[in-house]
Structure 1
Amino acid sequence: MTEALRVLAHAKLNLFLRILARESSGFHQIETAFALLEMADELVLRRTDSGVALEVEGPALGPRDENLAVRAARMVLDATGNRFGVAITLTKRIPVRAGLGGGSSDGAATLHAVNALAGNAVPRHELHHFAAKLGADVAFFASGAALALAWGRGDRQFRMPAPPAHPALVAVPPIEVATPDAYAWWDAQNRSPAPRGPVTLDADALSTWGSIGRLGGNDFEAVVFGKHPELRALYERVAQTGPVWVRLCGSGSAVAAVYKKERERDDAMQRLGEKQQRLIKTTTRSTVSDGPQPVEV
C-alpha cells in the first residue's frame, strides 16, 4: 500500500469569460474556456491513522476547515469509510486571490491523491461529482484536461485539444480580489442583464494562440478595472509588450499574457520591471495533468 504521494496542482487561465445571468440561488451562469499553466502548487500527502492535517508553506490561507484541500480529503475519506487519515503538506506557489484557481486546483489534486492512497476506491465519475460540489473550477482541474470549454455554472465542460505550449507571463499586483466581491460588483452594474446569445466558435478557434487572442474578452475586466483603475493600467502596460493574448485572470487581480517566443516574454519582463507588480515566468500547458506520484516516507 502506498504511504505517501506527491502531486502538482497547476494554475489556470480563462481564455474568455462571459457572465450571462445571476440565478436566484446566487450562482451565476457563465461561458468560458479554461487552460492550464505550468505554474503549480505542490502537495505531499501521507497516510496517517485518522483525521486530516494541513501544513502550508507560503501565505496564510484562512480557516483550515474552509480550505478546499481539507474539504476534498474529507470527502474521499468519508466515502471510503474513514479507514485512515491524511497529512497534507501544501507548498503554495500560485498567488492567492489572483484569479489563477490555486485553491481549486489544490482541492482537485487532493481528491485524486487521497483516492489513490485509498486504492482508487472511489469511481472516477463519483470523484468528478465531488469536484463539482467543491466548485466549478475544481471540476475543470479534476478532469485533468489541459483545455476545456465550460458553461452553466462552469461545471458543464467539454475537453478540447490544447494548442502547443507557449511562453507566458503572469503579472501579480499587490491588490487581491475575492471572487464573491467581483461577482457582487458585476451584479450591481447589471441589475437586469439583457439576454445574450451563446458564444459561437468554429473548430479552429482554440487551435492556436493567435486564434485564441481574437476571442472575446473577460466580463470581469470592466467591473474590476472600475473598482481598481491601477489594474486597468497594469493590463494596458502588459498589452503594450506585444503578447498574442492578454487578459485579466478570472476575476482578478493578476494579468496574464502569452507570447510567441521566450525572447519576447523575457523582453516584456525587462520592460515591465517589478516595482509595481511581481512577475512570474511560466508556460502554457499542452498536455493533461500528471497524476499523483509515490514518494519515500
Structure 2
Amino acid sequence: MSDSITVLAPAKINLGLEIFPRRADGYHGLHSIFTTVGLFDEICVSKIDEKNTCIVDSFGMDLPNQNTITAAYKAFCVLTGIDLGVHVSIKKRIPSGGGLGGGSSDASSFIQSVNNLFKAGLGIDSLSAIAGKVGSDVFFFTYALSAQDGKRFSKFEPFAAVVEGRGEKVRQIQHRSDFSVLLVFPNVGVSTKDAYALVDETLDLERRRNKISLEEIYNLPVKNWSFKNDFTVPVSEKYAGIAEALIKLKSCGADFADMSGSGSTVFGIFEKKETALKAKVLLEKEFNLALCLGG
C-alpha cells in the first residue's frame, strides 16, 4: 500500500450563473455551467503515525488552522471510521477568494486521495455526502475527479457540467476545447458573504430563464453566447477594478468575458489562440494573469 499520493486540483469558471433566493436551509439555489480550466493546485497526501491528525502545509498562500482540508478530513473519518493521520502539502496556484473554487477543489482532491490511500472504497454517493459537509462547490469537483478514470495522477482531463440545486445536482456535458481562456486577477478581494448580500438586493423574483438551455448556449459559437452571471453587475459596481478588467478584456478581442462565481476573477474566452496570446501580452502589464489554452 502506498504511503503517499500526489494529485492535481483544478480551478473552475462559471459560464452563466443564476442565483435563486435563499432557501429554508440557508443555501441559495443556483443554475450554472461549471467547467474546469488549466490552472491547478498540487496536493500531496501522506500517512503519518499520529491518529486523528491532519497537518496541512500550504506553499504560496497562508491557510487558517480550520480550512476545507481539515473539514474534509473530519467528515471522511466520521463516515468511514478511519482514524489514521495524514500530512497534506499544497502548492497553491489558484488564488483565494477569486471565484475559481480553489479551496473546494483542494478538498475534493484530498477526499479522493485519502479514499485511495486508505482503500476505503467509497463510491460517488459517499464521496458526495462528504462533499456536502465541506462546501457547495465540492460536489462539482467530486464528479470532475471521479470522471478521470485514474488519469488525475498524471494529468487531468477537462470536465464540464450543468450544476443546479445548492450545487449537488451535477450533470456532465461534453467539454469544449476549441477556445482559450485568459484569467485576470484584479487586485480586489470579494468575500462570498458580501457578494451574496449584494446579489440578494438585486434578485428579480419574477424573472425567467433563457428560452434556450445553458447547454444549448454553450454549444453556440462563443461570440453568440448570452450567459449572464447574477453576481457580475452588483459586484463590479462596487469594485471598480473588476469592471475595468472586464472592459479591457473585451477591448483586447475577447469573444466573451464575465466574472467567475462571486468574483473577483474575471475571464475572457477567445476562439482564436493568437488573439488570446496578444491579449495576454497587452494585459500582463496591469494584471496578474493565467492563460489556459484549449479551454
- Which amino acid in structure 1 is aligned with residue 292 of structure 2? T
Between the aligned partners of 2:104 and 2:34, the Cα distance in structure 1 is: 13
Please tell me the root mean square deviation across aligned C-alpha atoms, in Å.
1.9
In structure 2, the CA distance between the partners of 1:27 and 1:38, relative to structure 1 (3 Å rule), is: same
Q: Is there any run of 5+ residues in structure 2 with no aligned partner, and where?
A: 148-158
Q: Could you tell me which residue of structure 1 aligns to residue 62 of structure 2?
A: 60
Give the deviation of 1:15 after TM superposition.
0.6
In structure 2, the CA distance between the partners of 1:237 and 1:106, relative to structure 1 (3 Å rule), is: same
Maintained 8 Å contact 2:183/2:268: yes
Maintained 8 Å contact 1:20/1:196: no
Residues 119-143 of structure 1 show CA distances to partners (whole Å, capped at 9, x for unaligned) of: 1332331111211232221000000
Q: How does 1:41-80 map to 2 (within 5 A)?
A: 41-49=41-49, 50=51, 51-61=53-63, 63-65=64-66, 67-80=67-80
In structure 2, the CA distance between the partners of 1:3 and 1:165, relative to structure 1 (3 Å rule), is: farther
Residues 38-87 of structure 1 show CA distances to partners (whole Å, capped at 9, x for unaligned) of: 100000000112211100001222x222x112211222233332341110
Residues 200-234 of structure 1 show CA distances to partners (whole Å, capped at 9, x for unaligned) of: 318643235527x5132111011101111221111
Q: How many residues end up aligned between the 2 structures?
A: 279
Q: How does 1:1-297 map to 2 (within 5 A)?
A: 1-49=1-49, 50=51, 51-61=53-63, 63-65=64-66, 67-144=67-144, 146-190=159-203, 193-199=204-210, 200-201=212-213, 204-207=216-219, 210=222, 214-275=225-286, 277-283=287-293, 285=295
Give the deviation of 1:165 after TM superposition.
4.9
In structure 2, the CA distance between the partners of 1:52 and 1:284, relative to structure 1 (3 Å rule), is: farther
Which TM-score applies when normalising by structure 1?
Answer: 0.87
Between the aligned partners of 1:141 and 1:209, the Cα distance in structure 2 is: 26
Residues 167-221 of structure 1 show CA distances to partners (whole Å, capped at 9, x for unaligned) of: 221110111111111001112334xx3233344318643235527x513211101
- Which amino acid in structure 1 is aligned with residue 69 of structure 2? A
Secondary structure of 1:105's aligned partner: helix
Q: Is there any run of 5+ residues in structure 1 with no aligned partner, and where?
A: 286-297
In structure 2, the CA distance between the partners of 1:26 and 1:55, relative to structure 1 (3 Å rule), is: same
Between the aligned partners of 2:98 and 2:260, the Cα distance in structure 1 is: 7
* Deviating more after overlay: 150-159 vs 107-116: 150-159
Between the aligned partners of 1:225 and 1:5, the Cα distance in structure 2 is: 40
- Which amino acid in structure 1 is aligned with residue 65 of structure 2? R
Between the aligned partners of 2:137 and 2:178, the Cα distance in structure 1 is: 21
